[in-house]
Amino acid sequence: MKADIGLIGLAVMGQNLVLNMNDHGFKVAVFNRTHSKTADFLDGAAKDTTIIGAESIDELLNSLASPKKVMLMVKAGQVVDDYIDLIAPKLAAGDIIIDGGNSLYTDTNRRTDALKQQNILFVGTGVSGGEEGARHGPSIMPGGNPAAWEAVKPIFQAISAVVDDYPCCQWVGDQGAGHYVKMIHNGIEYGDMQLICEAYQLLSEGLGLSNDEIQAVFSEWNSGQLQSYLIEITANILAFKDTDETPLLDKILDCAGQKGTGKWTAINALDLGIPLTLIAESVFARCLSAQKTERVQAAVKLPKLAVEFTGDKASMVQAIGEALYAAKIISYAQGFRLIKEAAQEYSWKLNYGEIALMWRGGCIIRSQFLNNINDAYQADPNLDNLLLSDYFAEIMQKSEAGWRKAIILGVEQSLATPVLSSALAFYDGYRSECLPANLLQAQRDYFGAHTYERTDKPRGEFFHTDWTGTGGKTASSIYNV
């Protein structure tokens, strides 16, 4: 019997996806550049399965049923192109190549279009959930050539997480839409993580709570509206003891790593002119954490004001929880706003509610909260911004006082809360009928004749003033990002 799918790349994600497919009754053929890894896999985790090990690409391809489906689980970038160049000439019209790595969506756009010319169907899919998700049910976000969907759907929906009978895998859209949505997922992941870190620091350094006390706070939060995988694992991390029975967390160096997907998200937001402040700040927060040596010097040179917290701790804990929730709403509102802009910019037909539903299970940002986002889009599929939905607008108003209180705690204690604070700055700006950009436009026109619109004239009419009496009457051409 021929295999249903072939998979190239037996690193952690690849191996676990293969085992997951095997569990669901699919016959899988695998290839890894270093064959000993395939042999080890077949002798180890894949022992007593029907998984076929191939020693060459030709052997892999010959073992597949038509239309052939080959999934790449290799390092994003050039390696993906190298494999495509190797495989595509050996495939027939209608065969399918799937890239399941964290590829940049523009690469996926290019690959989908190029392979279409060769009558090969390309799918670029986000796969989230790490090792555990890949093995037992990830969130899968496929995009690319829609003609491939019917063939890959039974496999992907069988192995994905399922929440309320809804597979956390739906067709996202054309070209790189799947990888784009995975990129936004990762950006939101950065934001959620940084938010939790800031709340943790306010609780520990701001209020002086012990790790066990903070663990109890996070556990409680996880049973309410903040319920999420990241809150849950944070509670587990806080409770985890090193071999000497002291908290392991306290021994971990405060230098964050990053592989780049959060940065891609922020760059894309800048390119599309969408304020994605919370995610961008969370990327910068990681960058600042990495400047450890400089921070150590600055800590000596620029000592902090020491102000002890004297208020009511219980009410401050509640305020921090409200801040966390309100800022989280801002993050998702900004993220979905960016997705909406991308849909327009790249002519993708995206279903925002479905994206939220797909993220409810298997992935790193999974949470109950995503149901509320879906509800908001069900109520109004054309919603411009989640903050404009009645449900979220009401929560924002209820959380605002606590949110401000938590930020003031950070300000008083010299604790950096870049994400909690910038989210509030965005919120205050977003709901301002008037911003001081009138002055900014005046400045631009003053020094560069960049022109401005007037409040007493229709939009689209541009004016230039000779502010000093010595300038010319010629305005510079109008160009807006």
CB of 240 to ligand 6PG, least distance (A): 19
Nearer to ligand 6PG, 176 or 410 (CB): 176
Q: What is the footprint of ligand 6PG within residues 253-282 (CB under 6 A)?
A: 257-259, 261-262
Q: Kindly state the smallest distance separating residue 18's Cβ from ligand 6PG, in Å.
A: 17
Q: How many CA atoms lie within 13 A of 431 on its CB side?
A: 13
What is the smallest separation between the CB atom of 287 and ligand 6PG, expressed in angstroms? Answer: 12
289 binds ligand 6PG, rule: CB under 6 A = no
Give me 455's structure tokens. Answer: 């409040």
Q: Please, what is the minimum distance in Å from the beta carbon of residue 213 to ligand 6PG? A: 28
Q: Which of residues 360-379 bind ligand 6PG (CB under 6 A)?
A: 363-364
Choose between 101 and 206: whose C-beta lies nearer to ligand 6PG.
Answer: 101
Helix (H, G, I), strand (E, B) or coil at 30: strand
Q: Which residue's beta carbon is nearest to the bound ligand 6PG?
A: 128
Write each residue from 188 to 227 as x if it is in contact with ligand 6PG (CB under 6 A), else as -, in one continuous string.
-x--------------------------------------
Q: Please tell me the distance from the alpha carbon of residue 343 to that of residue 349, in angstroms, as a whole number.
A: 6
Least Å distance between CB 286 and ligand 6PG? 8
Q: Which of 77, 59, 76, 56 is nearest to 68 (CA)?
A: 59
Distance of CA 441 to the CA centre of its chain: 34
Residue 96 parent element (H or E): strand 96-99
Smallest CA-to-CA distance from 340 within 381, 282, 379 is with 381
Residue 173: strand pairing partners: 143
Q: What are 235's two structure tokens? A: 């509670």
Q: How many chain residues interact with ligand 6PG (CB under 6 A)?
A: 13
Instruction: Single out the catalytic residue among 27, 37, 69, 182.
Output: 182
Kindly state the DSSP code that residue 141 receives in the 8-state scheme.
E
Site for ligand 6PG in 121-140 (CB under 6 A): 128-130
Q: How far is the CB of 133 from ligand 6PG (least distance, A)?
A: 6
The 95-114 contact track toward ligand 6PG, x by CB under 6 A, reads -------x------------
Preceding amide of 67 cis, omega within 30: yes
Q: Which is nearer to ligand 6PG, 258 or 451 (CB)?
A: 258
Distance CA 171, CA 156 (A): 10
Tell me, what DSSP letter sits at residue 381?
T
**Residue nearer to ligand 6PG on the CB measure, 95 or 189:** 189
Q: Residue 189 catalytic? A: yes
Residue 363 CB, nearest approach to ligand 6PG (Å): 5
Give residue for tokens 């922020």. 266
- Smallest separation (angstroms) from ligand 6PG to the CB of 130: 5
Nearer to ligand 6PG, 190 or 452 (CB): 190
| Nearer to ligand 6PG (CB atom), residue 169 or residue 364 | 364
Cβ-based neighbours of 406, under 8 Å, separated by 6 or more: 199, 202, 316, 319, 320, 322, 323, 417, 420
What is the rounded (10 degree) CA torsion for 439, 441, 442, 446?
Answer: 140
| Residue 182 annotated as catalytic | yes
CB-CB contact of 122 with 115 (8 Å): yes
* 8 Å CB contact between 46 and 22: yes
Q: In the window 156-195, what residues touch ligand 6PG (CB under 6 A)?
A: 186, 189
258 or 441: CB nearest ligand 6PG: 258
Nearer to ligand 6PG, 161 or 317 (CB): 161
Q: Do 396 and 388 contact (CB within 8 A), yes or no? A: no
CA-CA distance, 286 to 330, in Å (whole number)?
Answer: 19
From the list 50-58, 199-207, 252-260, 276-284, the region that binds ligand 6PG by CB under 6 A is 252-260
Catalytic residue among 189, 198, 281, 322: 189
User: Which residues, including other chains, have CB under 8 Å from residue 480's CB and lie 6 or more apart?
Assistant: none
DSSP letter (8 states) at residue 416 = -
Q: Are 282 and 262 in contact (CB under 8 A)?
A: yes
- The residues that are catalytic are 182, 189
Chain residues that interact with ligand 6PG, rule: CB under 6 A: 102, 128-130, 186, 189, 257-259, 261-262, 363-364
